[in-house]
Protein backbone atom coordinates (compact mmCIF):
# COMPACT_ATOMS: atom_id res chain seq x y z
CA UNK A 1 0.00 0.00 0.00
CA UNK A 2 1.02 3.59 -0.57
CA UNK A 3 1.00 5.21 2.88
CA UNK A 4 1.27 8.74 4.24
CA UNK A 5 2.20 9.57 7.83
CA UNK A 6 1.12 12.83 9.48
CA UNK A 7 2.46 13.73 12.93
CA UNK A 8 1.03 16.23 15.39
CA UNK A 9 3.23 16.66 18.40
CA UNK A 10 6.40 16.37 20.36
CA UNK A 11 9.79 14.84 19.51
CA UNK A 12 8.71 11.54 21.01
CA UNK A 13 5.77 11.53 18.61
CA UNK A 14 8.02 12.29 15.67
CA UNK A 15 10.27 9.41 16.70
CA UNK A 16 7.21 7.15 16.98
CA UNK A 17 6.16 8.18 13.47
CA UNK A 18 9.60 7.20 12.20
CA UNK A 19 8.97 3.75 13.71
CA UNK A 20 5.49 3.60 12.13
CA UNK A 21 6.94 4.51 8.72
CA UNK A 22 9.95 2.19 9.14
CA UNK A 23 7.72 -0.73 10.14
CA UNK A 24 5.41 -0.19 7.17
CA UNK A 25 8.36 0.09 4.76
CA UNK A 26 9.88 -3.10 6.20
CA UNK A 27 6.55 -4.85 5.60
CA UNK A 28 6.75 -3.92 1.90
CA UNK A 29 4.51 -0.85 1.79
CA UNK A 30 5.60 2.38 0.08
CA UNK A 31 5.60 5.90 1.49
CA UNK A 32 4.24 9.01 -0.21
CA UNK A 33 4.44 12.67 0.79
CA UNK A 34 1.03 13.35 -0.79
CA UNK A 35 -2.00 12.37 1.31
CA UNK A 36 -4.23 12.70 -1.78
CA UNK A 37 -2.64 9.66 -3.40
CA UNK A 38 -2.28 7.58 -0.21
CA UNK A 39 -4.11 4.28 0.21
CA UNK A 40 -3.36 4.37 3.93
CA UNK A 41 -3.18 7.52 6.05
CA UNK A 42 -1.55 7.18 9.48
CA UNK A 43 -2.12 10.06 11.88
CA UNK A 44 -0.01 10.17 15.03
CA UNK A 45 -1.33 12.55 17.67
CA UNK A 46 -0.12 14.32 20.81
CA UNK A 47 -2.30 15.44 23.72
CA UNK A 48 0.25 17.43 25.70
CA UNK A 49 -0.85 20.80 24.35
CA UNK A 50 -4.33 22.23 24.04
CA UNK A 51 -6.37 21.87 20.85
CA UNK A 52 -4.78 18.49 20.03
CA UNK A 53 -8.21 16.95 19.55
CA UNK A 54 -9.42 19.94 17.48
CA UNK A 55 -6.33 19.71 15.28
CA UNK A 56 -6.89 15.99 14.73
CA UNK A 57 -10.58 16.42 13.90
CA UNK A 58 -9.86 19.45 11.69
CA UNK A 59 -7.20 17.53 9.81
CA UNK A 60 -9.29 14.41 9.27
CA UNK A 61 -12.20 16.50 8.04
CA UNK A 62 -9.91 18.41 5.69
CA UNK A 63 -9.04 15.02 4.17
CA UNK A 64 -12.64 14.54 3.10
CA UNK A 65 -12.16 15.26 -0.58
CA UNK A 66 -8.98 13.22 -1.07
CA UNK A 67 -10.64 10.42 0.87
CA UNK A 68 -13.60 10.38 -1.51
CA UNK A 69 -11.37 10.95 -4.46
CA UNK A 70 -9.22 8.06 -3.52
CA UNK A 71 -11.99 5.57 -2.90
CA UNK A 72 -11.66 5.41 0.83
CA UNK A 73 -8.07 4.87 1.84
CA UNK A 74 -7.61 3.25 5.21
CA UNK A 75 -7.37 5.72 8.07
CA UNK A 76 -5.30 4.81 11.14
CA UNK A 77 -5.36 7.19 14.11
CA UNK A 78 -2.94 6.68 16.95
CA UNK A 79 -0.86 8.22 19.71
CA UNK A 80 -1.89 10.12 22.82
CA UNK A 81 -5.24 11.50 21.61
CA UNK A 82 -6.29 7.98 20.63
CA UNK A 83 -5.28 6.76 24.12
CA UNK A 84 -7.30 9.57 25.67
CA UNK A 85 -10.45 9.41 23.52
CA UNK A 86 -10.44 5.62 23.11
CA UNK A 87 -13.73 4.25 21.78
CA UNK A 88 -15.23 7.77 21.52
CA UNK A 89 -13.08 8.15 18.41
CA UNK A 90 -15.24 5.67 16.49
CA UNK A 91 -18.21 7.96 17.08
CA UNK A 92 -16.40 11.28 16.51
CA UNK A 93 -14.43 10.12 13.46
CA UNK A 94 -16.45 7.29 11.91
CA UNK A 95 -14.16 7.25 8.87
CA UNK A 96 -11.40 5.78 11.09
CA UNK A 97 -10.48 2.14 10.36
CA UNK A 98 -7.69 1.50 12.87
CA UNK A 99 -7.05 2.99 16.31
CA UNK A 100 -3.68 2.33 17.89
CA UNK A 101 -1.98 3.36 21.12
CA UNK A 102 1.47 4.69 21.89
CA UNK A 103 3.04 1.22 22.04
CA UNK A 104 1.46 -0.42 18.99
CA UNK A 105 3.21 1.14 15.99
CA UNK A 106 4.85 -2.18 15.17
CA UNK A 107 1.42 -3.86 14.91
CA UNK A 108 0.24 -1.62 12.05
CA UNK A 109 1.18 -4.05 9.23
CA UNK A 110 -0.91 -6.83 10.83
CA UNK A 111 -3.82 -4.42 11.28
CA UNK A 112 -3.61 -3.48 7.60
CA UNK A 113 -3.74 -7.15 6.64
CA UNK A 114 -6.81 -7.60 8.84
CA UNK A 115 -8.45 -4.55 7.23
CA UNK A 116 -7.63 -5.89 3.76
CA UNK A 117 -9.56 -9.05 4.69
CA UNK A 118 -12.60 -6.91 5.41
CA UNK A 119 -12.32 -6.41 9.17
CA UNK A 120 -13.55 -3.00 10.31
CA UNK A 121 -12.92 -0.86 13.40
CA UNK A 122 -9.64 -2.50 14.35
CA UNK A 123 -8.71 -1.52 17.88
CA UNK A 124 -5.05 -1.89 18.86
CA UNK A 125 -5.45 0.08 22.07
CA UNK A 126 -5.87 -3.13 23.99
CA UNK A 127 -2.66 -4.62 22.57
CA UNK A 128 -0.66 -5.87 25.52
CA UNK A 129 2.33 -6.92 23.45
CA UNK A 130 5.29 -4.67 24.27
CA UNK A 131 7.26 -2.83 21.62
CA UNK A 132 9.93 -5.21 20.37
CA UNK A 133 13.56 -4.47 21.23
CA UNK A 134 14.58 -3.87 17.66
CA UNK A 135 12.37 -1.57 15.68
CA UNK A 136 12.42 -0.58 12.03
CA UNK A 137 12.96 3.16 11.77
CA UNK A 138 12.74 5.48 8.76
CA UNK A 139 14.74 8.54 9.86
CA UNK A 140 13.70 12.00 8.72
CA UNK A 141 17.23 12.69 7.49
CA UNK A 142 20.21 10.30 7.36
CA UNK A 143 22.63 12.36 9.46
CA UNK A 144 20.52 12.98 12.54
CA UNK A 145 18.51 10.37 14.36
CA UNK A 146 16.17 10.12 17.32
CA UNK A 147 16.87 7.23 19.65
CA UNK A 148 14.18 6.45 22.26
CA UNK A 149 15.77 5.12 25.44
CA UNK A 150 12.62 4.89 27.53
CA UNK A 151 8.88 5.26 27.20
CA UNK A 152 6.28 6.55 29.63
CA UNK A 153 6.72 8.53 32.81
CA UNK A 154 6.35 8.03 36.57
CA UNK A 155 6.34 11.66 37.62
CA UNK A 156 2.68 12.64 37.42
CA UNK A 157 3.20 16.37 37.18
CA UNK A 158 -0.28 17.59 38.04
CA UNK A 159 -0.91 19.26 34.66
CA UNK A 160 0.39 16.49 32.39
CA UNK A 161 -1.39 13.68 30.54
CA UNK A 162 1.71 11.70 29.59
CA UNK A 163 1.67 9.19 32.49
CA UNK A 164 -1.96 8.41 31.61
CA UNK A 165 -1.50 8.15 27.84
CA UNK A 166 1.97 6.60 27.67
CA UNK A 167 1.94 4.66 30.91
CA UNK A 168 4.71 4.04 33.44
CA UNK A 169 8.37 4.50 32.60
CA UNK A 170 9.93 1.54 30.81
CA UNK A 171 13.63 1.80 29.96
CA UNK A 172 15.15 -0.04 27.04
CA UNK A 173 18.16 -2.15 28.01
CA UNK A 174 21.55 -0.44 27.70
CA UNK A 175 23.02 -3.00 25.29
CA UNK A 176 20.01 -2.66 22.99
CA UNK A 177 20.23 1.14 22.98
CA UNK A 178 23.97 0.93 22.24
CA UNK A 179 23.41 -1.56 19.42
CA UNK A 180 20.79 0.77 17.94
CA UNK A 181 23.17 3.73 18.24
CA UNK A 182 25.94 1.82 16.43
CA UNK A 183 23.51 0.80 13.67
CA UNK A 184 22.38 4.40 13.21
CA UNK A 185 25.99 5.58 13.00
CA UNK A 186 26.85 2.81 10.53
CA UNK A 187 23.97 4.08 8.39
CA UNK A 188 25.40 7.61 8.42
CA UNK A 189 24.03 9.32 11.55
CA UNK A 190 26.53 11.75 13.06
CA UNK A 191 24.17 13.19 15.66
CA UNK A 192 21.84 11.20 17.89
CA UNK A 193 19.20 12.67 20.16
CA UNK A 194 18.30 10.35 23.04
CA UNK A 195 14.60 10.53 23.84
CA UNK A 196 12.70 9.84 27.03
CA UNK A 197 10.09 11.73 29.02
CA UNK A 198 12.76 11.87 31.71
CA UNK A 199 16.16 10.67 30.49
CA UNK A 200 17.66 11.27 33.94
CA UNK A 201 15.69 8.42 35.48
CA UNK A 202 16.67 6.04 32.66
CA UNK A 203 17.36 2.62 34.15
CA UNK A 204 15.60 3.18 37.49
CA UNK A 205 12.82 0.76 36.50
CA UNK A 206 15.46 -1.82 35.59
CA UNK A 207 16.95 -1.54 39.07
CA UNK A 208 19.97 0.26 37.60
CA UNK A 209 19.94 3.84 38.87
CA UNK A 210 22.64 6.01 37.31
CA UNK A 211 22.40 4.20 33.98
CA UNK A 212 22.02 7.45 32.02
CA UNK A 213 25.52 8.57 33.02
CA UNK A 214 26.81 5.17 31.96
CA UNK A 215 24.98 5.44 28.63
CA UNK A 216 26.52 8.86 27.92
CA UNK A 217 30.02 7.51 28.60
CA UNK A 218 29.42 4.43 26.43
CA UNK A 219 28.13 6.55 23.53
CA UNK A 220 31.32 8.58 23.71
CA UNK A 221 33.23 5.42 22.69
CA UNK A 222 31.39 5.08 19.35
CA UNK A 223 33.71 6.31 16.58
CA UNK A 224 32.06 8.75 14.13
CA UNK A 225 29.26 9.63 16.53
CA UNK A 226 30.10 13.33 16.68
CA UNK A 227 27.19 14.71 18.67
CA UNK A 228 24.85 13.41 21.36
CA UNK A 229 21.82 15.36 22.55
CA UNK A 230 18.97 14.32 24.83
CA UNK A 231 15.42 15.26 25.76
CA UNK A 232 13.96 15.73 28.32
CA UNK A 233 15.94 16.20 31.47
CA UNK A 234 13.93 16.37 34.70
CA UNK A 235 15.73 18.70 37.16
CA UNK A 236 14.93 16.54 40.19
CA UNK A 237 16.77 13.55 38.69
CA UNK A 238 19.76 15.37 37.19
CA UNK A 239 22.50 13.73 39.25
CA UNK A 240 26.13 14.79 39.83
CA UNK A 241 27.17 11.58 38.01
CA UNK A 242 25.18 12.61 34.92
CA UNK A 243 26.68 16.11 35.00
CA UNK A 244 30.17 14.58 35.31
CA UNK A 245 29.50 12.22 32.38
CA UNK A 246 28.24 15.13 30.27
CA UNK A 247 31.37 17.10 31.07
CA UNK A 248 33.66 14.17 30.31
CA UNK A 249 32.01 12.96 27.08
CA UNK A 250 33.50 14.61 24.02
CA UNK A 251 30.42 14.01 21.89
CA UNK A 252 27.82 15.19 24.44
CA UNK A 253 26.75 18.64 23.26
CA UNK A 254 27.03 21.67 25.53
CA UNK A 255 23.29 22.22 25.65
CA UNK A 256 20.84 21.09 28.30
CA UNK A 257 17.09 21.57 28.09
CA UNK A 258 16.03 21.75 31.73
CA UNK A 259 12.32 22.53 32.17
CA UNK A 260 11.76 24.89 35.11
CA UNK A 261 8.00 25.45 34.51
CA UNK A 262 7.65 28.07 37.29
CA UNK A 263 9.81 30.13 39.64
CA UNK A 264 7.51 29.96 42.68
CA UNK A 265 7.95 27.11 45.15
CA UNK A 266 4.23 27.08 45.91
CA UNK A 267 3.39 26.65 42.23
CA UNK A 268 6.14 24.04 41.78
CA UNK A 269 4.60 22.04 44.63
CA UNK A 270 1.11 22.41 43.15
CA UNK A 271 2.58 21.17 39.85
CA UNK A 272 4.12 18.20 41.70
CA UNK A 273 7.48 18.90 40.10
CA UNK A 274 9.53 17.50 42.98
CA UNK A 275 12.03 20.37 43.36
CA UNK A 276 12.22 23.89 44.74
CA UNK A 277 13.71 26.83 42.92
CA UNK A 278 16.82 26.56 45.12
CA UNK A 279 17.33 22.91 44.16
CA UNK A 280 16.93 23.84 40.51
CA UNK A 281 19.47 26.66 40.86
CA UNK A 282 21.93 24.20 42.44
CA UNK A 283 21.69 22.00 39.34
CA UNK A 284 22.23 25.02 37.09
CA UNK A 285 25.33 26.04 39.03
CA UNK A 286 26.69 22.50 38.90
CA UNK A 287 26.13 22.34 35.12
CA UNK A 288 27.80 25.69 34.55
CA UNK A 289 30.76 24.80 36.78
CA UNK A 290 31.31 21.45 35.05
CA UNK A 291 30.59 22.46 31.43
CA UNK A 292 31.95 25.88 30.53
CA UNK A 293 29.73 27.70 28.04
CA UNK A 294 26.83 25.26 28.42
CA UNK A 295 23.65 26.65 26.86
CA UNK A 296 20.47 26.23 28.85
CA UNK A 297 16.93 26.21 27.55
CA UNK A 298 13.70 25.61 29.40
CA UNK A 299 9.91 25.21 29.39
CA UNK A 300 7.73 27.67 31.30
CA UNK A 301 4.01 27.68 32.05
CA UNK A 302 2.19 30.88 32.96
CA UNK A 303 -1.22 31.12 34.61
CA UNK A 304 -1.23 27.82 36.49
CA UNK A 305 -4.42 27.71 38.65
CA UNK A 306 -4.12 30.21 41.48
CA UNK A 307 -0.86 31.79 40.24
CA UNK A 308 -0.67 35.27 41.81
CA UNK A 309 1.07 38.30 40.35
CA UNK A 310 3.80 37.86 42.95
CA UNK A 311 4.29 34.20 42.02
CA UNK A 312 4.48 35.10 38.35
CA UNK A 313 7.09 37.74 39.21
CA UNK A 314 9.12 34.96 40.86
CA UNK A 315 9.15 33.20 37.48
CA UNK A 316 10.36 36.37 35.76
CA UNK A 317 13.09 36.83 38.39
CA UNK A 318 14.21 33.20 38.05
CA UNK A 319 14.37 33.45 34.25
CA UNK A 320 16.45 36.62 34.47
CA UNK A 321 18.76 35.11 37.05
CA UNK A 322 19.30 31.83 35.19
CA UNK A 323 19.76 33.71 31.92
CA UNK A 324 18.47 31.02 29.54
CA UNK A 325 19.55 30.89 25.93
CA UNK A 326 15.97 30.13 24.93
CA UNK A 327 12.64 29.08 26.36
CA UNK A 328 9.40 27.46 25.25
CA UNK A 329 6.63 29.43 26.93
CA UNK A 330 3.07 28.23 27.33
CA UNK A 331 -0.20 29.45 28.76
CA UNK A 332 -1.60 26.87 31.18
CA UNK A 333 -4.65 25.07 29.91
CA UNK A 334 -6.29 22.15 31.71
CA UNK A 335 -5.75 18.68 30.30
CA UNK A 336 -8.80 16.50 30.97
CA UNK A 337 -8.14 13.73 33.47
CA UNK A 338 -5.23 15.44 35.25
CA UNK A 339 -5.35 16.60 38.90
CA UNK A 340 -4.69 20.25 37.93
CA UNK A 341 -7.80 20.20 35.74
CA UNK A 342 -9.84 19.79 38.94
CA UNK A 343 -8.39 23.00 40.44
CA UNK A 344 -10.39 26.21 40.12
CA UNK A 345 -8.75 28.13 37.27
CA UNK A 346 -8.71 31.56 38.87
CA UNK A 347 -6.38 33.31 36.46
CA UNK A 348 -8.28 35.09 33.70
CA UNK A 349 -7.31 34.46 30.09
CA UNK A 350 -6.43 38.12 29.71
CA UNK A 351 -4.03 37.96 32.66
CA UNK A 352 -2.47 34.79 31.28
CA UNK A 353 -1.91 36.50 27.93
CA UNK A 354 -0.38 39.55 29.59
CA UNK A 355 1.97 37.34 31.62
CA UNK A 356 2.95 35.36 28.55
CA UNK A 357 3.78 38.58 26.68
CA UNK A 358 5.92 39.82 29.59
CA UNK A 359 7.76 36.52 29.76
CA UNK A 360 8.37 36.37 26.00
CA UNK A 361 9.66 39.95 26.06
CA UNK A 362 12.12 39.14 28.83
CA UNK A 363 13.29 35.92 27.15
CA UNK A 364 13.75 37.73 23.81
CA UNK A 365 16.13 40.16 25.49
CA UNK A 366 18.08 37.28 27.04
CA UNK A 367 18.14 35.27 23.78
CA UNK A 368 19.30 38.35 21.92
CA UNK A 369 22.12 38.84 24.39
CA UNK A 370 23.09 35.15 24.19
CA UNK A 371 23.35 35.41 20.38
CA UNK A 372 25.34 38.67 20.50
CA UNK A 373 27.96 36.88 22.59
CA UNK A 374 28.80 34.73 19.53
CA UNK A 375 29.84 37.66 17.32
CA UNK A 376 33.39 37.19 16.07
CA UNK A 377 33.66 33.62 17.35
CA UNK A 378 34.48 30.64 15.15
CA UNK A 379 32.10 27.74 15.81
CA UNK A 380 31.56 24.18 14.65
CA UNK A 381 28.33 23.92 12.64
CA UNK A 382 26.66 20.63 11.76
CA UNK A 383 24.97 21.48 8.47
CA UNK A 384 21.40 20.25 8.21
CA UNK A 385 20.57 21.48 4.69
CA UNK A 386 19.90 24.53 2.56
CA UNK A 387 18.51 27.46 4.49
CA UNK A 388 15.22 29.02 3.47
CA UNK A 389 17.22 31.69 1.66
CA UNK A 390 18.18 29.35 -1.18
CA UNK A 391 20.66 26.73 -2.21
CA UNK A 392 23.81 28.80 -1.77
CA UNK A 393 22.96 29.49 1.84
CA UNK A 394 23.19 26.66 4.32
CA UNK A 395 21.76 26.16 7.76
CA UNK A 396 23.01 24.13 10.68
CA UNK A 397 23.48 24.11 14.42
CA UNK A 398 26.29 24.76 16.85
CA UNK A 399 26.97 22.28 19.62
CA UNK A 400 25.06 24.69 21.87
CA UNK A 401 22.05 24.31 19.53
CA UNK A 402 22.18 27.78 17.98
CA UNK A 403 20.98 27.98 14.38
CA UNK A 404 23.67 29.30 12.03
CA UNK A 405 23.08 30.36 8.40
CA UNK A 406 26.03 30.85 6.09
CA UNK A 407 26.56 31.15 2.34
CA UNK A 408 28.78 28.60 0.62
CA UNK A 409 29.10 26.94 -2.76
CA UNK A 410 29.11 23.16 -2.95
CA UNK A 411 27.24 20.47 -1.08
CA UNK A 412 27.31 20.89 2.69
CA UNK A 413 24.33 18.95 4.01
CA UNK A 414 25.45 16.38 6.58
CA UNK A 415 28.94 17.90 6.92
CA UNK A 416 30.66 19.82 9.69
CA UNK A 417 31.83 23.35 8.95
CA UNK A 418 33.89 25.89 10.76
CA UNK A 419 32.02 29.22 10.60
CA UNK A 420 32.94 32.70 11.81
CA UNK A 421 29.89 34.44 13.28
CA UNK A 422 29.27 37.85 11.74
CA UNK A 423 25.62 38.52 12.58
CA UNK A 424 23.26 37.79 15.47
CA UNK A 425 19.47 37.85 15.71
CA UNK A 426 17.23 36.62 18.55
CA UNK A 427 16.80 33.10 17.24
CA UNK A 428 19.70 32.59 14.83
CA UNK A 429 23.21 33.59 13.80
CA UNK A 430 24.78 34.30 10.44
CA UNK A 431 28.38 33.74 9.50
CA UNK A 432 31.02 33.14 6.89
CA UNK A 433 32.57 29.78 6.11
CA UNK A 434 36.14 29.22 7.30
CA UNK A 435 36.32 25.64 5.99
CA UNK A 436 35.21 22.06 6.50
CA UNK A 437 35.85 20.11 9.71
CA UNK A 438 36.51 16.48 8.82
For ligand SF4, the binding residues (CB under 6 A) are 153, 155-157, 160, 162-163, 197-198, 234
The residue among 256 and 424 lying less far from ligand SF4, judged by its C-beta, is: 256
Sign of the Cα torsion 383, 198, 26, 85 reads negative
The residue among 74 and 258 lying less far from ligand SF4, judged by its C-beta, is: 258
The residue among 153 and 319 lying less far from ligand SF4, judged by its C-beta, is: 153
The residue among 149 and 429 lying less far from ligand SF4, judged by its C-beta, is: 149
Q: Residue 366 and residue 329: Cα distance in Å, rounded? A: 14
Helices 174-186 and 211-219: angle between axes, nearest 10 degrees = 20
The residue among 57 and 164 lying less far from ligand SF4, judged by its C-beta, is: 164
Strands 255-257 and 227-231: unpaired
The residue among 284 and 404 lying less far from ligand SF4, judged by its C-beta, is: 284
Give 172's DSSP letter.
P
Q: Residue 391 and residue 31: Cα distance in Å, rounded? A: 26
Q: What's the min distance (Å) between Cβ of 168 and ligand SF4? A: 10
Q: Residue 61 and residue 389: Cα distance in Å, rounded? A: 34
Q: What's the min distance (Å) between Cβ of 237 and ligand SF4? A: 9
Q: What's the min distance (Å) between Cβ of 35 and ligand SF4? A: 30
Q: What's the min distance (Å) between Cβ of 229 and ligand SF4? A: 17
The residue among 59 and 156 lying less far from ligand SF4, judged by its C-beta, is: 156
In the chain, what is the straight-line distance between the N-terminal and C-terminal CA atoms, in Å?
41
Q: What's the min distance (Å) between Cβ of 83 and ligand SF4? A: 14
Contact partners, residue 308, CB within 8 Å, separation at least 6:
none
Contact at 8 Å (CB) between 398 and 381? Answer: yes
Give 201's DSSP letter.
G
Supply φ then ψ for residue 231, to 5 degrees: -145, 140
Q: Residue 282 and residue 183: Cα distance in Å, rounded? A: 37
Neighbours of 347 (CB within 10 A): 20
Q: What's the min distance (Å) between Cβ of 198 and ligand SF4? A: 5
Sign of the Cα torsion 200, 204, 206, 211 reads positive
Amino acid sequence: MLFYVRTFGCQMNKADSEVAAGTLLAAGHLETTDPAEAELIVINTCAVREHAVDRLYGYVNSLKSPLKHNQSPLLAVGGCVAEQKRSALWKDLPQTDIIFGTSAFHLLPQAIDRAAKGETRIDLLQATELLPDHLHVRPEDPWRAWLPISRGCNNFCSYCVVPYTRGREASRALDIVLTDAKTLVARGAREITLLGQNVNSYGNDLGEPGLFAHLLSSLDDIPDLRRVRFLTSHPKDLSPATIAALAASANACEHVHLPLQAGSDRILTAMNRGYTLDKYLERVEALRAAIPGVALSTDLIVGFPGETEEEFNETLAAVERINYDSAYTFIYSPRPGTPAAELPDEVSWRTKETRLRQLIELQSTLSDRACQAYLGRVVEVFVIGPSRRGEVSWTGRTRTNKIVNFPAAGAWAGRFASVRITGAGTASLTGSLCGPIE
